[in-house]
């Protein structure tokens, strides 16, 4: 997904490898909106079968499929899981919804900031209202990203910290003993990594979801730590991108590029650059959803963890963590299918299942964020516990154009085709009055 896309995660995971075909569980046939009398011959289905559309970065990135398989085993309800590559997912969702052939259940992004955002699609009458149990999973204070006039249109899946996935063993090889604690230390580490034949971080510079994510990660300390209600101030017309600390965010990116912190050819980088850079040991970090630490680590045997982007002098550590992915039901599906899908969401939103899914996926439990925190998140555990984090800023931006301007603008900074002033002005223009 874009962000996550995002991504991932959306899943907004910002790792991608093409995924061909569909993964079919329990012998279920395809069809957005269709019913199915499938299920095991030994265990009759207790609910109508339904289809589930997800973003999938690679073959191992199958935790939604594993969750669906568990539900089928427990209930007999057949679920067809339809994965699409992360970088194509947004287009698939919107195209199929408009054509009337989308899956019965899909993973979306909260709020309004992307083409597949919950509020955007709900206002277009594509989504079915959910029940009170789904509403109960929404984190306090973020109701507006899932609800319209008290009706709930999506159920968050898990909390997804975003940070720099960090390879300390690789850093040690070039003489970096610990993750930089300040931005100034980070610049020094960039030079040290270069001397050792590595880059400090790898960027999928050709893809706006990843360039935009990097900018949002930096904005945690530069903008939202001091002004947590910055988005509300922008909506009220009390500030602009051009006249705020967002300028520092983009200046930092330009400096990181100039100082060689990104890999060579970063402007043309792809998702494969991330997997190969971090997994192959040529880059020490990447700005991606935290679950990537698990997926890359399992694939490579590396011991990776998640770090917050280092604060500048005088700033406090702060990071990005939010419920970036949410279940939603297709309003065009048959009534029996929608009822069965809601039963699945009720099951997935139970405390037992949110905890199990967090462990399975590498995310953080939506209902108990600091319980049984995975070791990869230990470096930001205190930030999660104290609430020193902001949700993905673009989730509450008024339209996808603002994030598009950010992602494309960072690309322009990398290539020298845009200036910081131009990018900020384009973001303000996309926001509108």
pLDDT digits (tens, 9 = 90+) for 153-207: 999 999 989 999 999 999 999 999 999 999 999 999 999 999 999 999 999 999 9
If asked whether residues 256 and 340 sit together in one domain, one would say no
If asked whether residues 314 and 166 sit together in one domain, one would say yes
State residue 358's pLDDT score.
92
369 belongs to a structural domain: no
Q: How many domains is the chain partitioned into structurally?
A: 2
If asked whether residues 172 and 106 sit together in one domain, one would say no
If asked whether residues 151 and 240 sit together in one domain, one would say no
Residue 134 has pLDDT above 50, yes or no: yes
388 belongs to a structural domain: no
Average the pLDDT over each of 171-180, 280-289, 386-395 and give the range with the smallest value. Answer: 386-395
CB pairs under 8 A, 24+ apart, for 147-152? 148/119, 148/122, 148/123
115 belongs to a structural domain: yes
Give the β-pairing of 151-152 and 147-148. Answer: antiparallel
Residues 7 and 325: their CA atoms lie apart, in Å, by 9
Residue 126 has pLDDT above 80, yes or no: yes
The confidence band for 40, taking pLDDT boundaries of 50, 70 and 90, is: very low
State residue 396's pLDDT score.
87
Domain CATH number, residue 212: 3.40.190.10
pLDDT digits (tens, 9 = 90+) for 64-109: 999 999 999 999 999 999 999 887 899 999 999 999 999 999 999 9
| Mean predicted lDDT score pLDDT of the chain | 87
Mean pLDDT throughout 115-128? 95
> In the structure encoding, which two tokens stand for residue 169, read together?
């063993």
Place of tokens 């009458």: 125
pLDDT digits (tens, 9 = 90+) for 291-310: 888 888 888 899 999 999 99
State residue 19's pLDDT score.
23
State residue 48's pLDDT score.
92
Mean pLDDT throughout 351-373? 90
127 belongs to a structural domain: yes
144 belongs to a structural domain: yes
If asked whether residues 222 and 206 sit together in one domain, one would say yes
If asked whether residues 127 and 174 sit together in one domain, one would say no
Residue 125 has pLDDT above 80, yes or no: yes
18 belongs to a structural domain: no
Residues 5 and 108: their CA atoms lie apart, in Å, by 10
The confidence band for 217, taking pLDDT boundaries of 50, 70 and 90, is: very high
Mean pLDDT throughout 422-426? 98
State residue 60's pLDDT score.
65
The confidence band for 46, taking pLDDT boundaries of 50, 70 and 90, is: low
Quickly count: other Cβ atoms within 10 Å of residue 93's Cβ: 26
149 belongs to a structural domain: yes
State residue 3's pLDDT score.
35
If asked whether residues 44 and 141 sit together in one domain, one would say yes
If asked whether residues 165 and 278 sit together in one domain, one would say yes
Percentage of the chain modeled with pLDDT above 90? 72
Q: Is 14 exposed, middle or buried (0-12, 13-18, 19+ CB in 10 A)?
A: buried
If asked whether residues 85 and 203 sit together in one domain, one would say no
If asked whether residues 330 and 401 sit together in one domain, one would say no
If asked whether residues 350 and 408 sit together in one domain, one would say no
Domain holding 175, by residue range, is 161-320+395-431
**Rounded to 5 degrees, what angle do the CA atoms 30, 36, 39 make?**
105
Which of 329, 280, 311 lies closest to 50, judged by CA?
Answer: 329
Which of 104, 36, 26, 98 lies closest to 69, judged by CA?
Answer: 26
If asked whether residues 293 and 342 sit together in one domain, one would say no
State residue 114's pLDDT score.
83
In sequence order, what are the residues at sequence separation of 6 or more whose Cβ sits closer than 8 angstroms to the Cβ of residue 307? Answer: 163, 164, 166, 179, 285, 379, 380
Quickly count: other Cβ atoms within 10 Å of residue 396's Cβ: 20
pLDDT digits (tens, 9 = 90+) for 248-271: 999 999 999 999 999 999 999 998
Most confident of 141-145, 153-157, 384-388: 153-157
């Amino acid at each position: 997904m874009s962000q996550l896309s995002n991504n991932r995660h959306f899943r907004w995971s910002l790792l991608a490898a093409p995924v061909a075909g569909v993964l079919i569980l329990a012998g279920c046939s395809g069809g957005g909106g269709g019913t199915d009398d499938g299920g095991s011959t030994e265990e009759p289905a207790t609910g109508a079968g339904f289809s589930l559309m997800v973003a999938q970065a690679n073959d191992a990135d199958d935790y939604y499929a594993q969750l669906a398989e568990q539900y089928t085993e427990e209930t007999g309800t057949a679920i067809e899981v339809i994965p699409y590559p992360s970088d194509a997912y947004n287009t698939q969702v919107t195209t199929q919804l408009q054509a009337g052939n989308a899956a019965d259940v899909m993973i979306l992004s909260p709020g309004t900031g992307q083409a597949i955002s919950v509020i955007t699609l709900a206002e277009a009458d594509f989504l079915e209202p959910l029940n009170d149990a789904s509403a109960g999973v929404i984190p306090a204070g973020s109701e507006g990203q899932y609800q319209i006039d008290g009706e709930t249109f999506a159920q968050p899946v898990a909390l997804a910290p975003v940070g720099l996935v960090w390879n300390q063993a690789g850093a040690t090889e070039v003489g970096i003993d610990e993750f930089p604690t300040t931005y100034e230390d980070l610049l020094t580490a960039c030079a040290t990594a270069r001397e050792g034949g590595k880059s400090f971080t790898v960027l999928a510079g050709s893809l706006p979801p990843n360039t935009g994510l990097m900018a949002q990660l930096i904005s945690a300390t530069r903008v939202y730590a001091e002004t947590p209600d910055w988005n509300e101030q922008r909506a009220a017309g009390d500030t602009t991108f051009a006249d705020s600390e967002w300028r520092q965010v983009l200046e930092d990116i330009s400096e990181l590029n100039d100082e060689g912190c990104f890999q060579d050819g970063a402007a043309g980088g792809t998702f494969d650059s991330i997997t190969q850079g971090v997994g192959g040991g040529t880059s020490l970090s990447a700005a991606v959803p935290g679950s990537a630490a698990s997926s890359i680590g399992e694939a490579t045997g590396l011991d990776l963890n998640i770090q917050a982007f280092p604060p500048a002098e005088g700033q406090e550590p702060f990071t990005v963590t939010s419920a970036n992915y949410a279940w939603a039901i297709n309003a065009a599906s048959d009534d029996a299918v929608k009822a069965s899908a809601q039963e699945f969401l009720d099951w997935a939103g139970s405390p037992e299942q949110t905890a199990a899914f967090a462990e399975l996926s590498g995310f953080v439990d939506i209902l108990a964020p600091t319980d049984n925190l995975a070791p990869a998140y230990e470096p930001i555990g205190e930030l999660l516990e104290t609430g020193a984090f902001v949700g993905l800023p673009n989730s509450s931006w008024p339209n996808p154009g603002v994030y598009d301007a950010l992602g494309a603008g960072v690309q322009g900074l990398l290539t020298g085709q845009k200036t910081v002033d131009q990018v900020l002005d384009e973001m303000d223009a996309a926001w509108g009055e």
